[in-house]
Every structure is written in structure tokens, then in C-alpha cells.
């Protein structure tokens, strides 16, 4: 495989990974809000979130593989796992590594969810909220397509949808925290 092919593969998998993880974040918020997607039962949203998470992780693995196999820039597997060590753009690549490490923690704890307990798993799952914007900053800082019209609009669309969903989630959490046990009992909802 030529270096040019790997460069295009790295760019493409980076963009697809951004789209997929944006969808994963949106689906995660939908699951938490107990939202049903049209045409799917409630458990369908959860299943889609899990399946898309694994697909996004596979594209991320391809993205990392393309970056480490490409000889044009020297990025080692260690650089992909240990942040801020790379000789090539250590800060921006390091952000990608931090996002990857956070995502690994979410993935591993999700696989061990039954053994960890729901509360521990849920606390660690919050790392996904940190991983997404760090990965986004990585892409903006190191991406060779940053500034092109298509990537600018893709980034704006991803940020806008995640911010809108996150705002809805925070608004709902604030409403729920204002409810008192008395209010909940009056409405027939158990605390």
C-alpha cells in the first residue's frame, strides 16, 4: 500500500469516526432520556447505541492503524496509546491519544459492566462525554482537511447536534432534580 493510499485512508476513517462517534453520543443521550427512535422499540435504541459504538471503535482502530503504518510521518503504536510522546505534533496527536485512552476505559468497563455494577459502570461511562470533544479538538488541530468547506460543515453539524442533545439532557436533569418526593408521589412516579 502506498503512503498516499494510507493518507487518504487515515483522512477518510477519521471523518467517518467523527460521524459515528457523534451518532453514538446522540444515541447515548437518547437512551438516557428514554427516547424511542421511530420504528424501534426502546431496547432497539440501546442495541443500536451498542452496535454503533462497536462500529465506531472499529473505524477508530482503522484510523489508528493507517496512521501508524504510514511511513510518511513517524507515528508509533506507543504514540497511539501513551499521550504526548510523539515527535510528530505531540500536542494534537496527544489529544487523540487521550481521547482513545478514555474510550478504551469506556469500552472495557462496558464489557465488564455486569461485574462492576451499574453505579461504577455509569460513573466511568461519563468518560465518553470527555472523549468526544477531546477527539474533536484532535481532528481540528491535526487534520489535513481542517478548513476545507466539507470538513468545516461536517464539524459544525456534529458540534451543533451534540450541543443540542446535551442541552436537552441537562435541561431534563435539572427538571428532575427540582422535583421533590412529594411532587413525584402526586404524579404517581416513584422516586
Q: State the cell numbers at 100.
A: 482513545
**CB 142 within 8 Å of CB 14:** no
> Do the beta carbons of residue 81 and residue 104 sit within 8 Å?
no
What confidence score (pLDDT) does residue 22 get? 97
Per-residue pLDDT of 5-20, as tens digits, reads 998 999 999 999 999 9
Spatial CA neighbour of 3 closest among 74, 76, 86, 91: 74
pLDDT of residue 58: 95
Amino acid 180: pLDDT: 57
In the chain, the N- to C-terminal Cα span, in Å, equals 59
The secondary structure element, H or E, covering residue 135 is helix 127-142
* pLDDT at residue 34 in the model: 87
Residue 121 has pLDDT above 80, yes or no: yes
**pLDDT interval class at 175 (50, 70, 90):** confident
Q: What is the pLDDT of residue 40?
A: 85
Q: What is the pLDDT of residues 45-95, one digit of tens each?
A: 999 999 999 999 999 999 999 999 998 888 999 999 999 999 999 999 999
Q: What is the pLDDT of residues 147-170, one digit of tens each?
A: 999 999 999 999 999 999 999 999
- 183 vs 93: CA distance, rounded Å: 50
Q: Residues near 32 by Cβ (< 8 Å), separated by ≥ 6?
A: 169
Per-residue cell: 50: 451498542
Q: How confident is the model at residue 3 (pLDDT cuts 50, 70, 90)?
A: confident
pLDDT at 187 (0 to 100): 54
State the pLDDT at residue 97: 97
pLDDT at 190: 47
Amino acid at each position: 500500500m502506498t503512503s498516499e493510499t494510507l493518507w487518504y485512508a487515515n483522512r477518510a476513517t477519521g471523518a467517518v469516526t467523527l460521524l459515528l462517534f457523534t451518532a453514538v453520543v446522540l444515541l447515548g443521550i437518547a437512551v438516557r432520556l428514554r427516547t424511542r427512535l421511530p420504528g424501534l422499540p426502546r431496547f432497539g435504541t440501546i442495541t443500536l447505541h451498542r452496535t454503533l459504538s462497536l462500529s465506531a471503535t472499529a473505524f477508530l482502530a482503522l484510523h489508528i492503524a493507517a496512521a501508524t503504518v504510514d511511513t510518511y510521518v513517524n507515528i508509533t503504536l506507543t504514540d497511539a496509546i501513551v499521550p504526548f510522546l510523539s515527535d510528530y505534533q505531540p500536542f494534537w496527536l496527544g489529544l487523540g491519544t487521550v481521547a482513545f485512552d478514555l474510550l478504551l476505559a469506556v469500552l472495557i468497563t462496558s464489557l465488564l459492566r455486569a461485574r462492576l455494577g451499574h453505579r461504577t459502570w455509569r460513573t466511568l461511562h461519563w468518560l465518553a462525554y470527555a472523549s468526544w470533544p477531546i477527539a474533536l479538538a484532535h481532528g481540528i488541530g491535526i487534520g489535513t482537511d481542517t478548513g476545507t468547506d466539507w470538513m468545516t460543515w461536517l464539524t459544525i453539524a456534529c458540534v451543533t447536534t451534540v450541543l443540542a442533545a446535551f442541552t436537552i439532557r441537562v435541561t431534563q436533569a435539572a427538571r428532575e432534580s427540582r422535583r421533590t418526593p412529594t411532587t413525584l408521589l402526586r404524579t404517581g412516579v416513584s422516586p
